Amino acid sequence: MLSDLISSELPYLRRYARGLMGQQGEGDAAVEDMIESLIFRISVAPDMKFNRADLFAELDKTARKRIASLSDESGIARILNAMSTEERRTLLLTIVEGFTVAETAEILGMTTSKVEDTLRAAESTITHAVSTPVLIIEDETLISYQLSQIVREAGHTIAAVATTQGEAVEFARTGKFGLILSDIRLADGSTGIDAVSDIESFYEDPVPVVYITAYPEMLLQGGVGEPAYLIPKPFDPLHVRTVIDQAVLSAYLSDTRKAA
């Protein structure tokens, strides 16, 4: 049944929409619009059948309509001017949501060769993304090392690596960084969420945060204050790189708009 399919895919639909729109509120609103539209269509034609790819295709159309309705001066519109909509869509669907090139082509109404070309262009865009110092909050040495390597290869620098909430907050009081890359659960019983909350309490402007968790669905329920950027464990290095640069780019363009 469609309701069962939507229920099982809802966290991932939210993840895709948030990544495409650049923020939780607009992304979740796009998902709601899509669901309302599907409910109406099913009421008119109850024999309609949908699979996972169909749902993402419908969401993609809905999200693009919302993007088109935004002012050219909005932060989201400016983000999408820096990384083309096609680049962001293909990256999110293939790297984040795990669709094949062929499935992505079907969802987006492209040829497979177009999707492949767009992915190559997206990789070039990411390579030239805005560079920033990154604060890593992670208590596992091997994972923090892997993340540090990915951050550096993406053209960013490491501001510090903290293993506990206390270490992260202490560094943040005097250190400078443009992105936080944080695990959820830390070995000493503290959490990355608490660390970020403490850091945000004495920062005037919010710093973008990418959370890493083995249970991303728990933070994709549609509640207030859920993160826009989530990476599941175990992670794919290209997925990490893509999400990091999207978050940095979003914050940079938002700051540019404020200064204009």
Only one residue has tokens 């002012």, namely 71
What was the pLDDT predicted at 130?
A: 64
Give the residues of the chain that fall short of pLDDT 70. 70-83, 123-130, 224-225, 249-260
> In one letter, which amino acid is 149?
Q
pLDDT of residue 74: 47
CA pair distance 131, 45, nearest whole angstrom: 50
Q: Is the pTM of this model over 0.85?
A: no
> In this predicted structure, what is the pLDDT of residue 26?
86
Give me the percent of the chain exceeding a pLDDT of 90: 37
Structure tokens at 260: 């204009």
Q: Tell me the residue type at 40.
A: F
Q: Under a CB-based contact definition with an 8 Å cutoff, are residues 252 and 259 in contact? A: no
The CA–CA distances, whole Å, from 26 to 22, 69, 77 equal 8, 12, 12
Across-strand partners of 158?
Answer: 134
Using only C-alpha atoms, the chain has a radius of gyration, in whole angstroms, of 19
Question: Tell me, what's the pLDDT at 252?
Answer: 61
- Closest to 155 in 3D by CA, of 252, 24, 231: 252
At 254 the pLDDT is 56
Strand partners, 180: 135, 209
**CB count, 10 Å around CB of 71?**
9
